[in-house]
């Protein structure tokens, strides 16, 4: 069964699929909307044949109808970051070779010049809502379904392409492992251009027939009011959000805070992932709400691979074991599998969940696989049967608030500033964000610029979460004999300076 048939997305089903503001959208209505969108996209075609249809839509019924409409019509869904800058969108759209972009009217003025430049047709969801009915194309499991952009060790984000079969595998493994049912209710406040929000929350819930409460972002007062009212059974977030929730609770009157904690306590599951959940955070959440966070490990290219058990011991600081049907092994620097527990190695993954390719980038695809295993670039160790993540093989990848950022992408942008001669970006530990972005900068001779001005300037080309939170202007950068910047030295320099 491909993604054009989620088991619960059926005509005349009146259970609630989505809550958007004051509106409740039943599965039957959503199914109708999806079909209309699919036919609108198809027009006179019988199959979109993997046309890349991009969409720039906030968490909304339109977002869901467009994503599923593209799937049913045989296209590749390209969800875009609604907080992206024009320069970033230009890269995503160009790289994906998108032919159509769907966005609400209020964003057309901003997107129009870009689309004109790239020869992309700009549409609104309402332009595509036809009343047409008829047959939709049969879609084989190995057809490409989605492209999500991910940062990495190159200076431009790559498009990760997953097939209908990949996405189905990523969803169904979690349905069983985490006990999803159609009685579940979950808030969705994570961004919808990454797998945490797209797969783990939105599409797992829709596959299960559960109800998704849509938010346009993380709004602690609004979300916790619903938690206190007992409106949710499952909660999924990145560690930064649990930190922010604890801070928020600290500022509330005792009775209000207690009602929220009781709301969390009554849920059947709280999940943390996308970045390491520090042990003190795990303990604080348990002490405050009674919930033992279920920490899991995943990646855009693979969905989820490791998870603490739903039933059984959830161990702080660990990400559990491989999910059923997914092979996870640690490999040494010699590329041999590590046999012994307690020896660190790189996590490599095989299974139906593993993506098909980086779009239009055969070399990157080839280099990320070895003997059929996808090489994650994350290091781990197995301790008494539980995987523990130890860090990454590349210092150029930063995780801030659950977002994966490329130091090289940020450096390339900084180097375009007229006063900057050299730039080196690192991630440094931070209690709230996990890591925060710090830039070391050497100015051109005779040029002046201060950190605040550079940060403000960076907001032009970079999404706000990529902007360095701290900029240090230095006379020179530490380099090795080959002339390469030694980033571990920069980290030491930063810690010494702090």
Report if residue 318 touches ligand AMP, rule: CB under 6 A.
no
How many CB atoms are located within 10 Å of the residue 236 CB?
25
Is 407 a binding residue for ligand MLC by CB under 6 A? The answer is no
Q: 279-289 and 254-265 helices cross at what angle (nearest 10)?
A: 100
Q: Binder to ligand MLC among 190, 227, 236, 271 (CB under 6 A)?
A: 190
Biggest distance spanned by C-alpha atoms of the chain: 71
Q: Which is nearer to ligand AMP, 125 or 345 (CB)?
A: 345
Interface pick for ligand AMP out of 299, 323, 326, 330 (rule CB under 6 A): 299
Nearer to ligand MLC, 124 or 154 (CB): 154
Phi-psi region of 279 (alpha: psi -120 to 50; beta: other; left: phi over 0): alpha
Cβ-Cβ contacts under 8 Å for 362 (sequence gap 6 or more): none
Residue 300 contacts ligand AMP per CB under 6 A: yes
Q: Which is nearer to ligand AMP, 8 or 194 (CB)?
A: 194
The closest of 14, 32, 59, 349 to 203, measured between CA atoms, is 59
Picking from 82, 72, 66, 23, the residue whose alpha carbon sits closest to that of residue 48 is 72
Rounded Cα distance, 217 and 83, in Å: 11
305 binds ligand MLC (CB under 6 A): no
Q: Report the residue number, 295 or 409, with the smaller CB distance to ligand AMP.
A: 295
Signed CA dihedral, 8, 9, 12, 14: sign only: positive
Q: What is the DSSP letter of 447?
A: -
Pick the stretch among 126-134, 239-247, 337-345, 439-447 that binds ligand MLC (CB under 6 A): 239-247
For ligand MLC, the closer CB: 420 or 437: 437
Residue nearest to ligand MLC (CB): 401
- Coil vs helix vs strand at 374: strand
Out of 73, 236, 238, 398, name the contact with ligand MLC by CB under 6 A: 238
401 binds ligand MLC (CB under 6 A): yes
Please identify, using beta-carbon distances, which residue of 180 and 387 lies nearer to ligand AMP.
387
Phi-psi region of 483 (alpha: psi -120 to 50; beta: other; left: phi over 0): left
**Which CB, 33 or 378, lies closer to ligand MLC?**
378
For 339, half-sphere exposure in the C-beta direction (CA atoms, 13 angstrom radius) is 0
Residues numbered 353 to 392 that lie near ligand AMP (CB under 6 A) are 376, 378, 389, 392
Residue placing its CB nearer to ligand MLC in the complex, 145 or 148: 148
Closest CB 378 distance from ligand AMP, rounded Å: 5
Q: d(Cα 322, Cα 143) in Å, to the nearest integer? A: 26
Out of 3, 38, 276, 437, name the contact with ligand AMP by CB under 6 A. Answer: 276
- Which conformational region is residue 402 in: left (phi greater than 0), alpha (psi within -120 to 50 degrees), or beta? left
The pair of three-digit structure tokens given for residue 188, joined into one six-digit string: 């969705």
Residues in contact with ligand AMP, counted by CB under 6 A, come to a total of 19
CB of 47 to ligand MLC, least distance (A): 30
For ligand MLC, which residue of 211, 224, 400, 458 counts as binding (CB under 6 A)? 400
Residue among 42, 19, 16, 39 at smallest CA distance from 29:
16
Structure tokens given for 214: 């849509």
Strands 357-358 and 158-163: antiparallel
Residue 173 is given by DSSP the state H
Q: According to the binding rule CB under 6 A, does residue 267 interact with ligand AMP?
A: no
Window 197 to 236, contacts with ligand MLC (CB under 6 A) = 197, 217-218
Question: Per CB under 6 A, which region of 186-194, 252-260, 327-335, 371-379 contacts ligand MLC?
Answer: 186-194
- The reply to whether 468 sits near ligand MLC by the rule CB under 6 A is no
Residues sharing a CB contact under 8 Å with residue 52, sequence separation 6 or more, in sequence order: 75, 76, 78, 96, 97, 98, 99, 147
Window contacting ligand AMP (CB under 6 A); options: 2-10, 214-222, 296-304, 413-421: 296-304
Residue 100 has φ and ψ, to the nearest 5°, of -135, 145
User: Closest approach of Cβ 246 to ligand AMP, in Å?
Assistant: 18
- Please give the residue ranges that form the binding site for ligand MLC (CB under 6 A): 190-191, 194-197, 217-218, 238, 240-241, 244, 273-274, 298-300, 400-403, 433, 464-465
- Please give the residue ranges that form the binding site for ligand AMP (CB under 6 A): 150, 194-195, 273-276, 295, 297-300, 319, 376, 378, 389, 392, 399, 404
């Amino acid at each position: 069964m491909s993604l054009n048939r989620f088991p619960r997305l059926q005509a005349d089903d009146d259970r609630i699929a989505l809550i958007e503001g004051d509106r409740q959208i039943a599965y039957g209505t959503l199914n109708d909307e999806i079909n209309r969108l699919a036919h609108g996209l198809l027009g006179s075609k019988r199959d979109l044949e993997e046309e890349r249809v991009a969409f720039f839509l906030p968490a909304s019924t339109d977002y869901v109808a467009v994503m599923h409409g593209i799937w049913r019509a045989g296209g590749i869904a390209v969800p875009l970051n609604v907080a992206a800058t024009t320069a970033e969108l230009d890269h995503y759209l160009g790289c994906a070779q998108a032919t159509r972009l769907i966005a609400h009217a209020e964003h057309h003025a901003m997107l129009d010049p870009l689309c004109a430049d790239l020869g992309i047709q700009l549409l609104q969801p309402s332009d595509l809502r036809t009343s047409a009915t008829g047959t939709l194309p049969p879609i084989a499991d190995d057809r490409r379904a989605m492209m999500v952009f991910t940062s990495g060790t190159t200076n431009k984000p790559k498009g990760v392409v997953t097939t209908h079969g990949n996405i189905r595998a990523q969803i169904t493994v979690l349905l069983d492992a985490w006990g999803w049912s159609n009685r579940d209710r979950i808030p969705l406040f994570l961004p919808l251009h990454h797998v945490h929000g797209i797969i783990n929350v939105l599409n797992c819930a829709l596959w299960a027939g559960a109800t998704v409460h849509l938010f346009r972002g993380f709004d602690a007062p609004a979300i916790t009011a619903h938690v206190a009212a007992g409106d949710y059974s499952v909660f999924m977030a990145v560690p930064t959000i649990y930190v922010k929730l604890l801070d928020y609770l600290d500022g509330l009157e005792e009775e209000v805070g207690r009602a929220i904690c009781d709301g969390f306590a009554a849920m059947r599951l709280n999940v943390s992932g996308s970045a390491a959940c520090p042990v003190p955070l795990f303990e604080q959440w348990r002490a405050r709400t009674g919930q033992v966070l279920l920490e899991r490990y995943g990646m855009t290219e693979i969905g989820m691979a490791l998870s603490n058990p739903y039933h059984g011991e959830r161990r702080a600081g660990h990400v559990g074991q491989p999910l059923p049907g997914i092979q996870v092994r640690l490999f040494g620097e010699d590329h041999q599998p590590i046999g012994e527990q307690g020896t660190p190695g790189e996590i490599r993954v095989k299974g139906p969940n593993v993506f098909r390719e980086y779009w239009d980038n055969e070399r990157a695809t080839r280099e990320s696989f070895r003997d059929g295993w996808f090489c994650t670039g994350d290091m781990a160790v197995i301790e008494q049967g539980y995987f523990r993540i130890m860090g990454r093989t590349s210092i150029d990848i930063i995780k801030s608030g659950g977002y994966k950022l490329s130091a090289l992408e940020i450096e390339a942008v900084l180097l375009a500033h007229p006063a900057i001669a050299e730039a080196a970006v690192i991630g440094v530990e931070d209690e709230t964000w996990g890591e925060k972005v710090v830039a070391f900068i050497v100015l051109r001779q005779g040029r002046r610029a201060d950190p605040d001005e550079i940060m403000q300037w960076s907001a032009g080309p970079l999404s706000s979460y990529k902007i360095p939170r701290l900029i240090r202007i230095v006379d020179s950068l530490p380099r090795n004999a080959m002339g390469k910047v030694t980033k571990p030295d920069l980290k030491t320099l930063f810690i010494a300076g702090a």
